[in-house]
Structure 1
Amino acid sequence: MTASSISESIAIVHPVTLSHGLNAHVWDTDGKRYIDFVGGIGVLNLGHCNPRIVEAVCTQAGRLTHYAFNAAPHAPYKQFMERLASFIPVSYAVSGMLTNSGAEAAENALKIVRAATGRTAVIAFDGGFHGRTLATLNLNGKVAPYKQRVGTLPGPVYHLPYPSQDNGVTTEEALKALDRLFSVEIDVNEVACFILEPVQGEGGFLALEPSFAQALRRFCDEKGILLIVDEIQSGFGRTGQRFAFTRLGIEPDLILLGKSIAGGLPLGAVVGKKALLDTLPKGGLGGTYSGNPIACAAALATLDEMTDANLAAWGESQEQAILNRYQAWQQNKLSPYLGKLTGVGAMRGIELLTPEGAPATAVLAQLLESARQQGLLLMPSGKSRHIIRLLPPLTIEPHVLEAGLDIFERCLAAIR
């Protein structure tokens, strides 16, 4: 395979070719080892080649590699959905469907809310990211590069400021923008749903203000609007809890899942209130590969690992290590470019700013390259690509986490 056989529209963060991985390490085809703080962009919360997941995949591959669930149901799909329904921390009975990805979960959620409400408009948030398919592009709160040169997108979609201590937007400011939206832009009775991330991923690991989430929940209940929470990146233990929405003190109507749901295999889901999931006619939901039995087996093994005790221990350990190191960097004035620590729990980002307070995009690019040369893979985020998002496995060995932070420290300190 030559480079010309792959579309040049795919942007590559790290120009290396990976060969294999184990927990928090990966190796390239030249035999160089890296500490992985990318995790397939939040897919590998349980690390590379987790033994329990590998065993489940191999066992299932010898039984049934595929069957379309809507043609004839198979046991792994049924077993996983039953387990998943009990894993979602809400007070109502959970129903749902499996998809191939988070973006596909979002697409199906849009169909569901249209059918349930008879409305079409969606309110999303600045900085949000919900996928790369045509409808999800319009949900994203960022134009470049996702919305460029693709023309008119499915809608209508409107955007509001995302209130977070990490970006300086207050609950009051966001609510004022909400009031303006319905005074100037659109009739509230045309809105089917709001969609938000409890912690933005692509946006820079910004944590939503709980007071805004609670006010929005009340507003949705009053106006007959549904609330979709996108836990594709923040879910399955990333923050140290099962899902990040629990810290907001709300319950969503629909929840989008993906990434770490199946330990590295392609799988997603849209779950929520049963009445909503049953709104479309028979045949309105489904898909050829959705809920593939091997992916379901991996997902079952993933849930076996994600006990509340494990998640709490992993999350607390990782959060404390990152906080301790960041506080030391601040005290020691490690770098003039060191900005805020964003996010919550073990889902943390490190902001890079110029001494004048502008996004230090060029510095981040230097940091990515120098860290890679020293054996650490990092992932950018934020509107200006100036926030490093830390996505090591929750299962990373403490000494490996410290070694990765050591490399980060050396590389950032060397940039002047």
Structure 2
Amino acid sequence: MSNVPQQRLVQTAIPGPKSAALQARKAAAVSAGVSTGLPVYVERAGGGILVDVDGNQLIDFGSGIAVTTVGNSAPRVVERVTQQVQDFTHTCFMVTPYEEYLDVAEALNELTPGDHEKRTALFNSGAEAVENAVKVARHYTGRNAVVAFDHAYHGRTNLTMALTAKNMPYKHRFGPFAGEVYRAPMSYPFRWPGGPADCAKESFDVFVQQVHAQVGEDNVAAVVLEPIQGEGGFIVPAPGFVKQVAEWCTDNGILFIADEVQSGFCRTGDWFASEHEDVVPDLITTAKGIAGGLPLAGVTGRADVMDSVHGGGLGGTYGGNPIACAAALGAIETMKEEDLCARARQVEALFVPRLQALAERYPQIGDIRGRGAMLAVELVNGPGDLTPNAALTGAVNRACHAEGLVTLTCGTYGNVFRFLPPLAASDELLTEGLDIFEKAFAASV
């Protein structure tokens, strides 16, 4: 249980005067390129509540972008991290290794889809994991080309920016980007020209034809796909699409990389979103929810693939830092002991009927999608007009913030409202948050 009171409390305007003063310091000290969605400065957090420096207690529907899945300062995470800090903080695993790295690698080998022999390498961030997965795939296959999808988001490094589909704010004027990266249409049921019923077959056929014509199967090292897309709009591919792509990869000697940085670790009601699609990736990338808020990421995959890389070819000074590993072990223990996969499914059961009822009243809600505690609504102009409604999305977001609800938007067109609450949040907090969202929507339409 959290020692932070699990109730919303709004005592000042949001942001309050102390947060405003800190934001002024931020403007004077921090690069303008590092922006903040809601400039309230947090001093404590736990469960589903963030406490800011002005004493406001905000309901958290963002989890630091799907990171604090087990809740902020989760007890098992705190206990393990505290002990590890007392023991030692760093040696660099590549210099003098330590058991905590092995514990996390063994846990990932066990938890990720498939019962085949696996190996894991640990890194610092989701982008770093994706970049290293591509390195491994290219090394193993001896091929160069990598295929990603429309609406994809894979990170902010040079290679992962090339994989990412959205220009602003991620890619604008940061090129040139890494080469041999190709893009295919995403299976996007809500916006598929032929309609959702035919989306799986048609989108897969287009994918195969486009790769064949523009790249050539024998040149492709890997296909990188988010089983549920994150920043691109929480797009859930049409049923069967992910499995078809994975099987096509196998048939053509191509590695299938599942980017589960945002969708992994109980977020979607399974340990990994790939499981819902009955897909076993060759390589899977993880980060965000893995360590309860500390920076850690992993690439886990087939032993023959991961072991194909020469000694020293993978690594990094901080990769698999012992404190982050300790946090991951505490987070994974929490997920198991509290059955957070089941909790994510409960969150879905609570949210979806409320969102459906809201959509019946407001035709601007064009689509409700997601899985578990990774849910979204896509806002459009109205019936028969699927033009993305970014203005309404922003207005609702601001109205939620003003009432003490931390919310996030996403989507290639900026018109998707996403819900990522901590799985430690109570039903009472989630219900109150939904009440605020509904009122904000009504006031903004």
After TM superposition, the score normalised by the length of structure 1 is 0.96
Matching residue within 373, 385, 406 for 1:346? 373
Seq. identity, %: 39
Counterpart in 1 of 2:125?
101
Residue 11 of structure 1 and its aligned partner are, at CA, apart by 2.7
CA distance in 2, matches of 1:344, 1:249: 15
Aligned AA (1:256): T
Matching residue within 322, 345, 349 for 1:316? 345
Superposed, 1:44-55 pairs within 5 Å as: 44-55=68-79
Higher deviation after alignment, 313-322 or 259-268: 313-322
Residue 77 of structure 1 and its aligned partner are, at CA, apart by 0.8
Q: Are the counterparts in 1 of residues 125 and 296 from structure 2 also a CA contact under 8 Å?
A: yes
CA distance in 2, matches of 1:284, 1:33: 46
Counterpart in 1 of 2:389?
360
Q: Deviations over 1:236-285 (max 9, x none)?
A: 00011100001112210000000000000000000010111111111111
CA distance in 2, matches of 1:344, 1:26: 24
Counterpart in 2 of 1:4?
28
Superposed, 1:154-303 pairs within 5 Å as: 154-168=178-192, 170-303=199-332
- 1:382 and 2:405 aligned: no
Q: Deviations over 1:196-227 (max 9, x none)?
A: 00000101111123422222122112211110
CA distance in 1, matches of 2:256, 2:153: 16
Residue 308 of structure 1 and its aligned partner are, at CA, apart by 8.2
Counterpart in 1 of 2:136?
112
Residue 338 of structure 1 and its aligned partner are, at CA, apart by 2.2
Q: What secondary structure does 1:91 align onto?
A: coil
Q: What secondary structure does 2:257 align onto?
A: strand
Aligned AA (1:350): V
Aligned AA (1:48): N
Q: Are the counterparts in 1 of residues 58 and 405 from structure 2 also a CA contact under 8 Å?
A: yes
Q: What secondary structure does 2:55 align onto?
A: coil
Residue 324 of structure 1 and its aligned partner are, at CA, apart by 1.9
Matching residue within 385, 388, 399 for 1:370? 399
Q: Are the counterparts in 1 of residues 126 and 154 from structure 2 also a CA contact under 8 Å?
A: yes
CA distance in 2, matches of 1:107, 1:212: 24
Q: What secondary structure does 1:299 align onto?
A: helix
How many residues get paired?
A: 414
- Moved >6 Å (runs of 4+): none
Residue 299 of structure 1 and its aligned partner are, at CA, apart by 0.4
After TM superposition, the score normalised by the length of structure 2 is 0.90
Higher deviation after alignment, 335-344 or 51-60: 335-344
Q: Deviations over 1:114-167 (max 9, x none)?
A: 110111100001001110000000001222222211222112111111114344
Q: Deviations over 1:79-133 (max 9, x none)?
A: 2212221122312112111000111111111110111011110000100111000
CA distance in 2, matches of 1:115, 1:312: 35
Q: Deviations over 1:359-400 (max 9, x none)?
A: 111111111111111110110111111111101011211100
Q: Are the counterparts in 2 of residues 380 and 388 from structure 1 also a CA contact under 8 Å?
A: yes
CA distance in 1, matches of 2:273, 2:223: 17
Aligned AA (1:21): A
Q: CA RMSD in A?
A: 1.5
Counterpart in 2 of 1:67?
91
